[in-house]
Chain A
Amino acid sequence: MTYDRFEQFEAYTANTLPPDQREEFEQEINQNPVTRAELSDYQQFRHSIESIQLKHTLETIHTRLDRQGALTEAPPSPVVVRARQRFRPSWAIAGLVVLLLAGVGWYWWSWPSETESATLAEQTFVAYYQPETQARTQTTCARDLAPGLQAYRAKNYQAALDAFEKLPIELACMPYYRGITHLALNHTNEAITELERALTYYPDKTDLTHQKAGWYLALAYLKANRTAEARTRLKAILQQKDHPYGTVSEKVLADLGNE
């Protein structure tokens, strides 16, 4: 595989190919078995690398669940299953659980619509939020932000915030990074304040910092159950051609359903 081809695969995977080039490339994949085979080989190799970290994550999860006793339930052998099936009190307990769930279900259904909407907003936030770990585009942010950014990417959000707050707010990208760090720390109101400020500081809608701030602000509104403001922000993203969060914003709006 040539260097140019490799870079094309990397850009395609990172979703950074411009729409026309992406369409052209996808046509080539469909029509050319050699390209398809090369892409498949690249994807498997890349996943072999990336899965090293995923494996470590799974090890951590295993250790955590094991310590909590969440994995230590005795695995049901056929004999144990039959024995349990004959144990009548377990049926009584199961009945009670069903009644309890029915009661909870009734409670949930009868809850006012405002709260249902709040729950949907919260769930939507959970589904779509991820810390800014995938940014690949060249940044024009101040170099002084580097220690804070490093802490942020290491998921050490409090250290990141401490580092950012030592620096003047006027530095390039500062309100944006303070905003997303507050969001990662569940400081929703502070996140909204900083991200709104970032949009004011970077009014150019084609500026990447403005675009990212708009997306995270929409998510922060969702987290704060301010669904109407989140919708407005998401619609604003959709109006911008080639916005990096255009496709996902469309999905979020669809998930939120009708106003």
Chain B
Amino acid sequence: MSVFHPFYNQRILYQSLLAGQDAAFEYLYKLLYHRISGYIFATGGNPTDTKTVVHESIITLVFNLHYQKYAWQEEAELMTYVTSIARNKWSEMRRQVARQVPIEADDQLNNADNPYQTAADEQDFEQRRLAVEKNLALMGDKCRRCIDLFYFQQKTMHEIAALLGWASDDVAKKEKYRCLKKLRQLVGLSNWND
């Protein structure tokens, strides 16, 4: 019987996050929450801020993992990387609300041991995600279901065609493209042109 948690191994944690395993997200969540909460409290934040920072940091991390913005490094801790994302996210939030905080509180979690420079590479998905979620609700039933079935339920285009009564996989693919174009339009993103 092993007494060590498998996610102590950074490579296993990295691969499990890539594979979307709930257990890996829970492990990361707890660790990040505890690592960042003291810093956030010390700099004027509250539990809601901590929750927001943890959520948005993990969402950014997942983007960076999936699209190779983060390259695996044997010697570097994944936790150090996600903590640096969280710190930047919190700094950004503080700038936005212009909170008055004592500067010395920043010393608790400084950059000295952080090998990453992530701020410039980070994407902030919060606003866009909220806009997408809001506008998704405004779309027609078939479009909404198509996006839900493909991106959330991981159904194949063949299954989606059968479920939504489209004649073939190709028709379903074209409909999905059309729905996404419409969604982009509603969100206010640049148009996709045929």
Q: Does B20 contact A (CB under 8 A)?
A: yes
A45 touching B41 in the complex, CB below 8 Å, given contacts A57-B25, A58-B29: no
B residues 163-194 in Cβ contact with A at 8 Å? 169, 173-174, 177, 180, 183-184, 189-190, 192-194
Query: Are the CB atoms of B59 and A51 closer together than 8 Å?
Result: yes
A residues 120-166 in Cβ contact with B at 8 Å? 122-123, 126-130, 133-139, 143, 149, 153-154
Q: Tell me the complex Cα distance, A154–B62, Å.
A: 22
- 9 A-B residue pairs with Cβ-Cβ distance under 8 Å, sorted by A, are A50-B151, A62-B51, A77-B41, A123-B12, A127-B12, A128-B15, A128-B19, A135-B156, A251-B15
Q: Tell me the complex Cα distance, A129–B24, Å.
A: 12
Interface size (A, Cβ < 8 Å)? 58
Q: Does B73 contact A (CB under 8 A)?
A: no
List the 7 closest pairs (A to B, CB-CB), nearest first: A75-B41, A127-B12, A1-B192, A119-B2, A133-B154, A130-B19, A48-B128
Smallest beta-carbon distance B190→chain A, Å: 7
Q: Does A7 contact B (CB under 8 A)?
A: yes
Note all chain B residues with C-beta closer than 8 A to A127.
6, 11-12, 15-16, 19
Note all chain A residues with C-beta closer than 8 A to B11.
127, 255
A126 touching B16 in the complex, CB below 8 Å, given contacts A3-B174, A41-B190, A53-B152: yes
Q: Tell me the complex Cα distance, A176–B155, Å.
A: 18
A49 touching B29 in the complex, CB below 8 Å, given contacts A54-B59, A55-B55, A128-B15: no
Q: Tell me the complex Cα distance, A50–B133, Å.
A: 10
Note all chain A residues with C-beta closer than 8 A to B2.
108, 119, 122-123
Q: Does A43 contact B (CB under 8 A)?
A: yes
Nearest B residue (CB) for A153? B153
Q: Does A47 contact B (CB under 8 A)?
A: yes
Q: Does A44 contact B (CB under 8 A)?
A: yes
Tell me what chain A mostly uses at the interface: helix, strand, loop, or mixed.
Answer: helix
Query: Are the CB atoms of A75 and B30 closer together than 8 Å?
Result: no
**A98-133 interface mask toward B, CB cutoff 8 Å, 1 = contact, 0 = none?**
000000100110000001000100110011111001
A48 touching B129 in the complex, CB below 8 Å, given contacts A3-B177, A123-B12, A139-B158: yes
A residues near B (Cβ < 8 Å) are 1-3, 6-7, 41, 43-55, 57-59, 61-62, 64-65, 70-71, 73, 75-78, 104, 107-108, 115, 119, 122-123, 126-130, 133-139, 143, 149, 153-154, 251, 255
Q: Tell me the complex Cα distance, A104–B3, Å.
A: 8
Q: Tell me the complex Cα distance, A45–B194, Å.
A: 18
Query: Are the CB atoms of A75 and B38 closer together than 8 Å?
Result: yes
Q: Does B70 contact A (CB under 8 A)?
A: no
Q: Does B86 contact A (CB under 8 A)?
A: no
Query: Are the CB atoms of A52 and B133 closer together than 8 Å?
Result: yes
Nearest B residue (CB) for A119? B2
Q: Does B81 contact A (CB under 8 A)?
A: no
Q: Does B118 contact A (CB under 8 A)?
A: no
Query: Are the CB atoms of A126 and B12 closer together than 8 Å?
Result: yes
With beta carbons under 8 angstroms apart, the residue of A7, A41, A143, A149 that contacts B173 is: A7
Q: Tell me the complex Cα distance, A44–B174, Å.
A: 20
Note all chain A residues with C-beta closer than 8 A to B155.
153
Query: Are the CB atoms of A55 and B59 closer together than 8 Å?
Result: yes
Q: Does B142 contact A (CB under 8 A)?
A: no
A136 touching B157 in the complex, CB below 8 Å, given contacts A44-B123, A62-B51, A75-B41: yes
Q: Does B21 contact A (CB under 8 A)?
A: yes
